[in-house]
Every structure is written in C-alpha cells, then in structure tokens.
Amino acid sequence: MQRRTLLITTGLAVPGILAPRHRAAAQGGAADVPDRPVTIVVPFAAGGPTDTVTRLVAEAMGRDLGQTVVVENVTGAGGTIGAARVANARPDGATLLMHHIGHATAATLYRRLPYNVQTSFEPIGLVTEVPVLVTAHPGFPAETLPELLAVMRRDGERLNLANAGIGGSDQLAGLLLMRAAGAKVTEVSFRGTAPALTELIAGRVDLYCGQATGLVPAVRDRQIRAYAVTTARRLTGPGLGDIPTVVELGQPELQVSVWHALYAPRGTPPAMVQRFSRALQAALRDPKVVERFADLVTEPVAPERATPEAHRQFLAAEVARWRPIIQAAGVYAD
C-alpha cells in the first residue's frame, strides 16, 4: 500500500482574517463543515489522472470550505483498499473518497467486496468525465474505425489489445471495442498506462483504448494513431487534427468516459453532504480548475450533475450498465 500526502491549507490566524473554523461557520454553519482537516482518499497512485483531478479540486474546495484539506493516496486492489478505508471511516465529514468509473465496475468485477458500492457511501457529486481514445500503433493496417473493426473480425486472437490491468478503465473500454467488433482478441495486461503505451508505440501490441489525458502527447507526435474519441464531442487541437466521435462513426455502444466523483461514508449528516456538494460546485467554477482540466483534455461537469441526487442515479445506471458486459466477458479481479 502506497501513501503520499499533500497538505493544502487555507486561511491565516492573524488579525482581520478569519481562521478556518470561524470562516466555515460564517459560510455554511459550524455543523456543516468538520472542525478538523478533511482527508480526501485517492485509491490510486500519486501523479495519475485521478490523483491530479483530486488535488486540483481539493485546493479549490478548501478555499470555499475555509478548512484544511489533505489528499492521501491509499493504493491497492484496483482501488478497493482505499474505498474500503473510507467506507469504514467515521461519518463525520473528515474522510472523503475520490474514485472513478472503477467504483461502479467494482460491484461486478469483485465478487467479495468488503463494502457495497451503492449503499456504503453518500454521493457528493460527479466531477469530470475524461474521454477515451481508440488507438493503434502507426503501422496497424486500418485507416478508420470501421476498418479497424473489420481487421479485428478478420484476425481475432492474432491481435493484441493492451490494458493497464484487469478492471481498469482501459480494459473495460477494450471489452466494449471487442463487443462492437463481435470478435475476441488477445488481451495483454501491463502494470499501468505508461508500459502499455510504450509497448503500443513500439508496435509490440496492436491496440489500446486509454484515457485521452495520457495519450494525446503520443498522438500529437504521431507515435500512435487515434481512430475515435468515445464521448459526445470531437477531440480537436494542435497536432490532433479532428478526431471523430464513435457515435458519428456508427458505434454508439462504444461511448464511455472515465468519470470521477466524490463520496462520503454512509451516515454522514445530510447537511454536511450538501455543504461538500456546494463546495465542489464552487471548485468546478474556479478558473484555475477549468484551465487545468482543459490541459487534461476534459472539463468540469455541469453544476446540476455535481449533486448527491444526480450522482446517486448516475452511479446506479453505471453499475447496471457494466454488470452484463463484465459477466459476459467472464473477467473478474478476484
């Protein structure tokens, strides 16, 4: 288990400036904000996409809450160790969880979870949705997504499809790609995105479906070829050209995003959950957050999606969506 902590402080106890606890009371009431530092657990390694998103949001939320925010990485078992820690934490608002799409898929991927994905947490709100790119090495014998699917049907298990580990977002997107092609190819798992991308660039694997955040530099440098983006908007920008969406290419079933969302332990007071949601919405309007998210090839979600009610419904829909896909593939992480 790897842990790394970033301490983000707000407020100074000097004359004329409210100390954190008093500022919190002025903005939302002392009962709505913990009177001690808030820890946001990231169940993945420091420096990864989820960690980066969390640190940006945590800093802005800390300013709005008037409270110290700590980001801590608690890794292992596909994110379930960190999630279990939050599920078992005191429901006093001092411990939160930032998780991604893997929170929904864990309900099926892990048959012996020590918590319930939907009932062990209080959703605070959705944060962002990062698009996925369908890519291949430059020498792959297909110019378009339809041609790629045709090659998959023709060559089947002679082709290699990289992923960064069973249950990861790229492995799940790969399942959708095989489903769209109606073909089974050979999956090759690596310990992270970086080695998977290295092997794709070298041509030792054929295909990879990964978060745009990590793949855009290689696309710009013509090290890999991008066929489509899996969200509603085309991906454009310097060196990218105009990457089409899977919908316009006739493959709506390939739509997927690597979303991130914030949670509190079950039993956290409703007023506190709502206060965190308001702080999250304020963070997502912060110009610095908007700018940095753009650098990560994403954007904050609309305010109405960064609410407990909206995310509770979204999470339930995602659990239901992925369960038959994972069961049909027979891929489990335990």
**Are 119 and 319 within 8 A, CB to CB?**
no
For residue range 180-195, what is the model confidence (pLDDT) as tens digits? Answer: 999 999 999 887 888 9
- Please give the pLDDT value at position 20: 42
Please check whether the two domains, 5-129+258-329 and 131-254, share a CATH topology: yes
Helix runs in the chain, H state only: 20-28, 49-65, 80-87, 102-109, 145-155, 169-181, 193-202, 212-220, 270-285, 287-295, 308-329
- Please give the pLDDT value at position 263: 98
| Pairing verdict, β 257-265 and 95-100 | antiparallel
**Are 34 and 94 within 8 A, CB to CB?**
yes
**pLDDT above 70 (res 98):** yes
| Lowest-confidence segment of 148-152, 208-212, 310-314 by average pLDDT | 208-212
Higher-scoring residue by pLDDT: 17, 279: 279
| Top CATH class, 5-129+258-329 | alpha beta
**pLDDT above 80 (res 29):** no
What residues does each domain of the chain span? 5-129+258-329, 131-254
Name residues whose C-beta falls within 8 Å of residue 59's C-beta, 6 or more positions apart in sequence: 8, 69
Our measurement of the distance from residue 303's CA atom to the centroid of its chain's CA atoms, rounded to an integer in Å, reads 18
265 forms bridges with which residues in the sheet?
Answer: 121
**Are 125 and 307 within 8 A, CB to CB?**
yes
**Are 83 and 118 within 8 A, CB to CB?**
no
- Mean local confidence (pLDDT), 247-255: 93
Could you tell me the two tokens for 141? 């014998």
For residue range 291-325, what is the model confidence (pLDDT) as tens digits? Answer: 999 988 899 999 999 999 999 999 999 999 999 98
The pTM of the full predicted model, rounded to 2 decimals, is: 0.83
Report the distance separating Cα 258 and Cα 235, nearest Å. Answer: 15
**pLDDT above 50 (res 118):** yes
- Please give the pLDDT value at position 57: 97
- Please give the pLDDT value at position 31: 64
Residue 301 corresponds to which amino acid?
A: V
| Top CATH class, 131-254 | alpha beta
Q: Mind giving me the DSSP string for 128-163?
A: EEEEEEEEE-TT-S-SSHHHHHHHHHHHGGGSEEEE
